[in-house]
Amino acid sequence: MRLINTSTCLFEEFIGRYIPKYAIFSYTWEEEEVSFKEMSDLSRNNKKGYRKIEMTCQMASQAGLSYAWIDTCCIDKYSSAELTEAINSMYRWY
C-alpha cells in the first residue's frame, strides 16, 4: 500500500501485514488533481490539487497520524493490476 508521509508529503510503500494507521478524508474532485505520476514531479506544487494534499497531511498530522491516503495520487491508475487491487481493497481501506 502506498501512503503519503504527513511530514514530507512524499510516498512510502508498505508491503505485507504491517500497514500503519493513516487518514482518509472525504472530498470532492476538482480541477488539477495531482496524479500518482505527478507526485514525483516538483511541478506538482503548482497544481491546485496539491493544496488538498498539503491540507490532508496537516490535518492527519494534527490528529496524530503520520500517514494519509488520497485516491487521486496514491493509486497508479496507469497500472491495471494496481487499479484492480485498489478497487477490490477499498472497503478494507475505508
Strand-pairing partners, residue 13, are 2
Give the total number of structural domains in the chain.
1
DSSP 47: S
Instruction: Kindly report, residue by residue over 81-92, the tens digit of the pLDDT.
Output: 877 776 777 666
Question: Which residues constitute the domain of residue 11?
Answer: 2-93
Residue 13 contacts residue 36 (beta carbons within 8 Å) = no
pTM of the model as a whole: 0.82
Instruction: Kindly report, residue by residue over 71-81, the tens digit of the pLDDT.
Output: 889 888 888 88
C-beta neighbour count of 49 within 10 angstroms: 19
3-state secondary structure of 84: helix
